[in-house]
Structure 1
């Protein structure tokens, strides 16, 4: 989408633009592949390989470790490359990696070691894709359209959250892990084909003279984020959330099949309820911050969304009431979680210079998602020592640290207009 001239009115609907439709389709397919894989691999480990709490925590940690290892490098690279090129190449590589894992599964070789390799490889490639995706929009639209356009694009992530977990859980439960893994590879291949068809030239920040070393670009990104009060607060709140959420999800994926005795398909259905909620959150993100103020919306949405998970440890049995309660909890979590996500992304993009977008996104991802492997390990440790119900309550309570951090930071004072 080209930026309109300074004197023009708002651009026409993005859906009339062929390149935007290709971007949306590619993003949706890529997210479907990612969410299908995220549920298929852990459920296969639990249901087919009888993985224990410690093994599941380790598997999730291995899949999340690339965020800690590669985020900062990814940010430095993305600021020198075209985001479309990065997304196309990483989609192709993820399709190949998961296709190889599916073949290994068909020959009976998809044990825990192979799952660890697949999780790490897909995780590493996803780091590059996600950083490029976050940097791409600001290069394509003007800044006063960021909230609206982020809301539109994040709807594709919501659609993936609807179909991905349900599909992954159903395929593992009804067919096999190799089929579930192959479906993830197919989605990445579709994303590759769609993104590759984008024709519009991408505006990449100009660089003069010899490019600085990677470590210098990483250092500049760290200094920029650490020195900006809003971005520093985003980092701290994100780290608190991702650490506690990773611990919560590790216990959650054990609690549902083993404590509530739910099937893989039902677990996938429950997790898929976050999708419709996230779709609603994407719509609300285009309206509520401009009406009530970005700070009020951020803190309130984080309290409501994260607090919803505190109800899960109170559930018992596998009755229809329990399943309905899980659907409601995940819907609320998805709606308010997406509202926070889109609003935070718009804040970050608005206050960051074009030439720093990739590094700012990567630094915040590093600070936030980089804590997730430790959270996953903690979740497995707690489940082994304290039991599933108590561990889930403790981990979910830890998620309330994130809105507390935002409430004590300059983020809470943001008004209806973003600082441009």
Structure 2
């Protein structure tokens, strides 16, 4: 569940906005908006670079450097540590800056970091210490980019366009899940880790160019009008700098029953999912004897499923209710991974089973992703979008470094099959938490920012 993983002046139709923006079109005209298409293209390229890198670095460590379970857990934890360290600050910064500036700068910096790593690899210097540094750097910059693009999207479209726009953006992330792992695994297996790393740098460069071409002026909502800390507050408070701004985001999330439930369910999911993926990346090549290219293909199978999930997310919540869709999709998607520990050997049947499991997981986890993101954006005022997204990222994904370390420890102590069974079972806690929360009672129409319970 992506909290996970989102530019122009805010519209007067927004409950928290005071400045009209005639540039926002009707829902049916979203794809006719050239600036939205540039945002979508830039976000797609950035996500493709990120998903390529997420596969390239662990596969390089496992297949080339022969990293053990503990070392792989540390590598993944280092890359995820910025979520815990920087998410809250990122939200405070993004709400004060122009989001497009943040995205362009982080794209440029990630391209430089990965390009430097590619050169180091060609010189024979790309060992584990360098991988740790690169993973942390790219992870830190990705935290800033992800918070910024979510806030940028909300500033660009009307609230009635949120589901349609989120479906498009999450669909592009799904395309990245298809292309990134497959390309990364193939390049590492057929060519070399430096070439695969350079591919990630190229995608970030493409994103940089696309986002730079957005022409619509962007106003920061917080500089247009004061933002209330609580959606039902009678007297708006002035925005506070530094820690005060971070506290505003924390208090808003804590005061909203829906957002509190999102945080708890996301934290449970991300902790277990990080542990599961650490064991999974070892289980596929070592227990099932799959090649690097096959591992990349298996991970990429979540992409077509996620594309289907994005399409379903634009239709099912409005038909069956957001709460029913959230709980049901989480049960099916998370439960699919429980089938993996039962697989044996590297036969064609086993490969097909792995692909099927990843497809099902991709479909229903993406359905949860888009629905949760739409709920979060609908109940949050424009001027708090960055801080709320960062707060949920901090709480929800802050446990991922611990999860990665836990997965490595369980794999060492209980073996790959036993560790995978335990970590995949832990993912079922997330739908349980959603089922007993106010999220389960959400209907077909989402509440607005001032309908806090």
Q: Tell me the TM-score normalised to structure 1 length.
A: 0.97
User: Are the equivalent residues in 2 in contact too, given 1:171–1:177 (CA < 8 A)?
Assistant: yes
Question: Cα distance, 1:82 vs. partner?
Answer: 1.1
Which residue of the other structure, out of 254, 271, 274, is the alignment partner of 1:226?
A: 254
SS at match of 2:290: coil
2:182 is aligned with 1:154:
no
Alpha-carbon distance in 2 for matches of 1:283, 1:214 = 39
User: Are the equivalent residues in 1 in contact too, given 2:91–2:246 (CA < 8 A)?
Assistant: yes
User: Are the equivalent residues in 1 in contact too, given 2:155–2:382 (CA < 8 A)?
Assistant: yes
Which residue of the other structure, out of 185, 190, 199, is the alignment partner of 1:169?
A: 185
Partner residue of 1:415? 443
Alpha-carbon distance in 2 for matches of 1:102, 1:275 = 26
Counterpart mapping for 1:281-300 below 5 A: 281-300=309-328
Question: Cα distance, 1:143 vs. partner?
Answer: 1.0
Counterpart mapping for 1:2-401 below 5 A: 10-207=26-223, 212-401=240-429
Question: Cα distance, 1:354 vs. partner?
Answer: 1.1
Which whole-Å deviations, capped at 9, do the CAs of 1:61-100 have from their partners, x for residues lacking one? 0000000000000000000011111111100000000000
Unpaired runs of at least 5, structure 2: 1-6, 14-21, 227-237, 449-453
Alpha-carbon distance in 1 for matches of 2:316, 2:28 = 22
Moved more, 6-15 or 127-136: 6-15
Question: Cα distance, 1:23 vs. partner?
Answer: 1.2
Question: Cα distance, 1:212 vs. partner?
Answer: 2.4
Moved more, 208-217 or 399-408: 208-217
User: Are the equivalent residues in 2 in contact too, given 1:140–1:203 (CA < 8 A)?
Assistant: no
Question: Cα distance, 1:5 vs. partner?
Answer: 8.0
User: Are the equivalent residues in 1 in contact too, given 2:239–2:245 (CA < 8 A)?
Assistant: no
User: Are the equivalent residues in 2 in contact too, given 1:278–1:335 (CA < 8 A)?
Assistant: yes
Distance 1:235 1:211, change over 3 A: closer
Question: Cα distance, 1:155 vs. partner?
Answer: 1.0
CA RMSD of aligned residues (A): 1.6
Structure number with higher helix proportion: 1
Distance 1:9 1:48, change over 3 A: closer
Alpha-carbon distance in 1 for matches of 2:321, 2:389 = 23
Alpha-carbon distance in 1 for matches of 2:363, 2:11 = 31
Q: Figure out how many residues of one structure are paired with residues of the other and give that number.
A: 420
Question: Cα distance, 1:12 vs. partner?
Answer: 3.4
Alpha-carbon distance in 1 for matches of 2:151, 2:336 = 31
SS at match of 1:387: helix
SS at match of 2:28: coil
Which whole-Å deviations, capped at 9, do the CAs of 1:239-270 have from their partners, x for residues lacking one? 00000000000000000000000000000000
Distance 1:114 1:367, change over 3 A: same
Question: Cα distance, 1:9 vs. partner?
Answer: 8.8
Q: Tell me the TM-score normalised to structure 2 length.
A: 0.90
Distance 1:64 1:9, change over 3 A: closer
